[in-house]
């Protein structure tokens, strides 16, 4: 059977660093919620069979989004941590997904993901047995710091910055997250769980404008990138 493609968007976070009463995924960019923009980018990928959004139990904003009424979008209960939300979404797909299907996990607060990068990731990994992630090489000099003092300068040629989507086989990712939870291991992204399970995920270079909104100033930067991307995609006369 030809593997199907599913997307999972963990959106149960509250975004405390934004200093807002509204979770960051519901803050607006030019009048539209961040999560709405993110889902619209994912919904532009025709090969996706469905998108599962993991929501917090007290989420009162979701019904106001246009994407909440899209037939390809479903919801699942969110958890205390990102990994809990992703695993909950994966389990909600048990009756639909097969172990060899693909799951693309994407941050709710990355509205600047492009269709080009998503299709690039899919194309690069379509015949892989495990999966991989979008990432970009680090260009800055890095420092390790302890108690405010520099203790070393890692070789930046060996370091990449992880982005999303992160795309893995449904069976591989589900098992990796279940194992990590059982062992009480901290999981910061899907790739780290897969790595803990003994796999070697691939890296596919993505665009640097695929930023994650974590600070208030990121909203302005995202608005700039979105406008630039829209201009880039318009046909030239």
Measured distance CA(128)–CA(84) in Å, rounded: 26
- Report the pLDDT value the prediction gives residue 19, as an integer from 0 to 100: 58
- Report the pLDDT value the prediction gives residue 10, as an integer from 0 to 100: 97
- Report the pLDDT value the prediction gives residue 36, as an integer from 0 to 100: 98
Q: What superfamily in CATH does domain 5-233 come from?
A: Spore Coat Polysaccharide Biosynthesis Protein SpsA; Chain A (3.90.550.10)
Helix (H) / strand (E) element for 199: namely none
CB 69 within 8 A of CB 39: no
> What three-state secondary structure class fits 103?
strand
- Report the pLDDT value the prediction gives residue 69, as an integer from 0 to 100: 97
- Report the pLDDT value the prediction gives residue 21, as an integer from 0 to 100: 80
CB 67 within 8 A of CB 35: yes
The CA R_g of the chain, rounded to the nearest whole Å, is 18
Sorted by where each begins, the domain ranges of the chain are: 5-233
Written as tens digits, the pLDDT of the chain (237 aa) is 799 999 999 999 876 666 568 899 999 999 999 999 999 999 999 999 999 999 999 899 999 999 999 999 999 999 999 999 999 999 999 999 999 999 999 999 999 999 999 999 999 999 999 999 999 999 999 999 999 999 999 999 999 999 999 999 999 999 999 999 999 999 999 999 999 999 999 999 999 999 999 999 999 999 999 999 988 877 766
Q: Show Cβ contacts of residue 204 under 8 Å, excluding neighbours closer than 6 positions.
A: 120, 121, 124, 125, 132, 133, 134, 135
As given in the structure block, the two tokens for residue 226 are 């979105």
Q: Show Cβ contacts of residue 177 under 8 Å, excluding neighbours closer than 6 positions.
A: 83, 86, 87, 90, 187, 190, 193
């Amino acid at each position: 059977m030809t593997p199907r493609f599913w997307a999972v968007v963990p959106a149960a976070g509250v975004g405390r660093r934004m200093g807002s009463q509204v979770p960051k995924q519901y803050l607006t960019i030019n009048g539209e919620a961040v999560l709405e923009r993110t889902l619209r980018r994912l919904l532009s990928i025709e090969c996706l069979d469905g998108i599962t959004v993991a929501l917090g139990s007290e989420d009162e904003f979701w019904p106001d989004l246009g994407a909440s009424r899209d037939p390809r979008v479903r919801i699942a209960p969110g958890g205390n941590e990102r990994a809990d939300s992703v695993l909950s979404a994966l389990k909600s797909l048990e009756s639909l997904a097969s172990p060899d299907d693909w799951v693309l996990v994407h941050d709710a607060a990355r509205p600047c993901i492009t269709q080009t990068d998503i299709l690039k990731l899919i194309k690069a990994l379509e015949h892989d047995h495990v999966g991989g992630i979008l990432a970009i090489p680090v260009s800055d000099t890095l420092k390790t710091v302890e108690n405010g003092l520099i203790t070393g300068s890692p070789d930046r040629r060996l370091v990449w910055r992880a982005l999303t989507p992160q795309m893995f086989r449904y069976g591989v990712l589900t098992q990796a997250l279940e194992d990590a939870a059982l062992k009480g291991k901290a999981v910061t992204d899907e790739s780290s769980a897969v790595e803990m399970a003994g796999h070697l995920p691939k890296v596919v270079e993505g665009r640097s404008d695929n930023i994650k909104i974590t600070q208030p100033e990121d909203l302005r930067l995202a608005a700039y990138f979105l406008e630039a991307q829209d201009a880039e995609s318009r046909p030239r006369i």
